[in-house]
Structure 1
């Protein structure tokens, strides 16, 4: 599973809209690999195809791809989040949709070790 590590305080307490995350796990390969450092924007508008940092209902924070906006059974808007590698990691197929408020940030770029701006789109095909 791709889990971000966000050093320092997060956006809600520091009021800084930009932050860092570090990828753990293989679920976002080939786009992202364990150890990649990411530049993220907290509170950014999420669109289908964006790579995001989100908190699942069990508290797990992960880097996943937002694929479509849905409505939960209680009528709240939520995102369906998937791994780029469907054989690895846990995502909305296992844990269900993630409420809008739990999509914490949109990934803007990988800054280390191979700087790359992330573009919106579908998961790369193997």
Structure 2
């Protein structure tokens, strides 16, 4: 793969329209936790992504890394994404712009249900 100014050519998209993702690590806690299984729908380049969406993304600087994060805002070449856990910074704060490859539709296991469309308040993290 060759890289481009936008970063989108530097990462591979999802092969199928639907993907089952398993969360590993605490970066999105309390919204999703390590071990949760998520149903993800592929997003094609240029697809609509909104601030607050929980997504599956890759960083052009680390294309082998596939992460679940929340979109903060669009940037040239992708999106700024962050985890809901402010203590863990394995997101755009460390790796820069991310290319969204899928949007999380729902949590399938162990607590089925839709995800909160907004990040928790900082005061909610310790409760």
Counterpart residue number, 2:114: 117
Q: Does 1:70 align with 2:63?
A: no
Deviation at 1:89, TM superposition (A): 4.0
Gaps of 5+ in 2: 1-12
Q: How does 1:13-24 map to 2 (within 5 A)?
A: 16-24=16-24
Partners in 1 of 2:101 and 2:66 — Cα distance? 9
After superposition, where does 1:78-89 map in structure 2 within 5 Å?
78-89=78-89
- SS for the counterpart of 1:64 is strand
TM-score normalised to structure 1 length: 0.76
Contact between 1:36 and 1:112, CA under 8 Å: does it hold in 2? yes
In the alignment of these two chains, the number of paired residues is: 105
Question: What corresponds to 2:56 in structure 1?
Answer: 53
**Matched ranges for 1:90-105 at <5 A:** 90-98=90-98, 102-105=99-102
Where does the alignment leave 5 or more consecutive residues of structure 1 unmatched? 1-9, 72-76
